[in-house]
Amino acid sequence: MSDIAALARIDSFPYRHRLREVMSTPVLTAPGGLALSEAVRMMYEARVSSIVGVDGLGRAAGIFTERDLLRLLSNDGPGALELSLDETMTRPVAAVPADAYVYVALARMTRMGLRHLVVVDADSRPLGMITGRALLKVRATEALVLGDSVENAAGPDEMRGVLGNLPRLARSLLAEGVGARNIASVISLVLRDMTARAAELAELSLHDDGWGPAPARYAVLILGSGGRGESLLAFDQDNAIVHAGRPGDDAWFAELGRRLNETLHAAGIPFCDGGVMAREPKWRKNLEQWRSELHDWVFAVENQTVLNCDIFFDFQPVWGDHAVAEELRAIALEKAAQSAFFLRYLAQNVASMGGSIGLFGNFVTRQGRLNAKKFGLLPLVSAARMRAIRAHVPATGTDERFAALRDAGLLHEDDLRDFIEVRELVLRVMLEQQLADIASGLLPSADIDPKRFDKRTRIRLRWAFKRLESLKQACGVNG
C-alpha cells in the first residue's frame, strides 16, 4: 500500500468535485455486434478517442480506444477492421459511478495505467468519459491513492492504515476551505469502501474455507450516517444484509456477517453498541422477512421503531447485488406509505425534539459540552427523512432529500437555503472539535465545547439552533 503521509499537502479539488462535474459527455456507444470499421468511423466523426460497447440493456460491456486500433492494425493489418466491436474491445471495462469524487478516478487510472475511464449510472449504463487529459489540471500527489488503497487492501491492517490518515485528510481539507459537508461525504465514501472490501474479503474467505458461493443474491448495506454520506470522525459499524434466498440460507449469511463485522472491527471501525450489525439476526434477513419486519415497524409503532428508522431508511448498498437492495427500498417506502399513523409518529418525534438554547439565550451544556448531533443534526436529518418517506423520495442524503422536497413544491427555497447552511455550520464545528480532541488524545464524539469557538461562530450557532425551531412547525404534526 502506498504511503499517504503527504495528505496534508494535497490539492483539495479532487475531494470537492464529483466525476459528473468533469466527465466528457455525451459518451460514444455502440452495440457489440457493430463492425469495427463502422465503430472507427463513428469515433472519427465524433472526434473522440474511444467508443464504449454496450449490451442489449445498454450496460457498458467493453471499450475500444485509438491505442487498441493501432495495436490491431500493427499486428493484423487492415483486415482487422472486418472484425466486430465485441471481438476487439477490452473487457471488462473500467468504470466508476457518476457521484464518485474525482480522487477515485485519479487513483484508479494511476494504479491501472488507464487513459480512459467510463462513468456509469446505477445500472452500469455509460453517462460520460474521464480521460487523462481531462484530469490533467486536477492531478494531485500520490495521496490520491487513498480510496483505491482500500479496494486493494489485503486485510484489516492495511485498511487500518487508511483509516488512521482520515484525521489528517480532514484537517487539510478544512484548512483549504473545503465545506464540512463535502469532507463528511469523503469520510463516508472511505467507510463505504472499507465495508465493501471487508465484505469481499469475508466472501473470499468463506469460499476458501469450504462454505461455497452465496446461496442467493444478496447485498451488504451500510446504514445511518454512512448511508447518508454524512459521517465524521466519531463512527462505528452500522450495517445489514438483505438477500433473495430462503430462511434456511441464513447460516451462510450469518457467517458472512460475522467475518465482515470482525474485519471492520480489526480495521478500526468499532462494533456498534446497539448491535446494528450484519452478524445480528435482526439486521440480516431475506426480502420477505424484511417485509414482515417493516410491517411490524409501521403498524406497531413505538420508540424503538423511530430508532430503527433513524438507521435503516438511510441505507446504501456497498457490496453484492444492488438490485436486491433497491427491491428492499421499494418495499420500505411502500410499507411506510401504508400507515398514516407511522408518518404522524415520525412527525411528532421531530416536533418533540428538545432545544439547546436556554431561556436567556445561553447554550444548554452538560459538563461544559453540548451534543451537537442531538440538538443540531438530528432534527434536520429526521425532518428530511420523515418528509422524504411521506413524499416517496428515494434519496438518502439530507441535502438531496431537502432539494427533492423543494423541487416538488413541498419546501420553500428560503428554508432549503437556511437548512443547508445550518447543517454545514453544525458539521463544521463538530469536525473542528473532533480534530481538536484527537490532537489532545481524546476520543472524538458529537459533543462540542461552545467556549472553544470564537464569538462570531458562537453567534452563528445560536442562530442555527434557534432556526431549527422552525422545523418543528414546518415538519411537525401538522406539516
Hey, what's the cell of 98?
457518476
Collapsing DSSP to helix, strand or coil, 214 comes out as coil
Looking at residue 108, its pLDDT comes to: 84
C-alpha to C-alpha distance for 191 and 237, rounded to whole angstroms? 9
- Provide DSSP, 407-431: HTTSS-HHHHHHHHHHHHHHHHHHH
Is the model's pLDDT at 477 over the cut of 70?
A: no
Collapsing DSSP to helix, strand or coil, 263 comes out as helix
178 and 16 in contact (C-beta within 8 Å)? yes
The better pLDDT of the pair 472, 64 is held by: 64
Instruction: State the amino acid at position 148 in one-letter form.
Output: D
Condensed to tens digits (0 to 9), the pLDDT of residues 190-224 reads 899 899 999 999 999 999 999 999 999 999 999 99
The better pLDDT of the pair 8, 130 is held by: 130
Condensed to tens digits (0 to 9), the pLDDT of residues 298-327 reads 887 777 777 888 889 999 999 999 999 999
151 and 27 in contact (C-beta within 8 Å)? no
The better pLDDT of the pair 85, 366 is held by: 85
CATH architecture of 16-142: Roll (3.10)
Smallest CA-to-CA distance from 150 within 217, 224, 200, 101 is with 200
Looking at residue 11, its pLDDT comes to: 55
Is the model's pLDDT at 393 over the cut of 50?
A: yes
Task: Report which DSSP code applies to 100.
Answer: S
Collapsing DSSP to helix, strand or coil, 218 comes out as strand
Q: What is the mean pLDDT of residues 6-23?
A: 65
State the average pLDDT for the chain. Answer: 86
C-alpha to C-alpha distance for 29 and 391, rounded to whole angstroms? 36
- Kindly report the pTM of this predicted structure: 0.73
Q: What is the mean pLDDT of residues 446-465?
A: 92
Phi-psi sector, 319: left (phi>0), alpha (psi -120 to 50), beta? beta
C-alpha to C-alpha distance for 91 and 79, rounded to whole angstroms? 22
β-partners of residue 128 are: 119
C-alpha to C-alpha distance for 105 and 132, rounded to whole angstroms? 10
Q: Is the dihedral of CA 46, 51, 56, 60 positive or negative?
A: negative
CATH dotted code for 153-338: 3.30.460.10
Is the model's pLDDT at 126 over the cut of 50?
A: yes
CA separation, residue 214 to residues 154, 204, 243, 259 (Å) = 21, 10, 10, 14
Is the model's pLDDT at 357 over the cut of 80?
A: no
474 and 387 in contact (C-beta within 8 Å)? no
Condensed to tens digits (0 to 9), the pLDDT of residues 70-107 reads 989 988 898 989 999 999 999 989 899 998 888 888 88
Condensed to tens digits (0 to 9), the pLDDT of residues 333-346 reads 999 888 888 888 88
Is 153-338 the same fold as 16-142? Answer: no
Looking at residue 148, its pLDDT comes to: 61
C-alpha to C-alpha distance for 347 and 473, rounded to whole angstroms? 10
Looking at residue 236, its pLDDT comes to: 92
Instruction: State the amino acid at position 52 in one-letter form.
Output: V
Smallest CA-to-CA distance from 94 within 67, 70, 58, 130 is with 130
Is the model's pLDDT at 388 over the cut of 80?
A: yes
Confidence bin at 13 (pLDDT 50/70/90): low
Confidence bin at 414 (pLDDT 50/70/90): confident
- Going from N- to C-terminal start, the domains of the chain cover 16-142, 153-338, 349-474
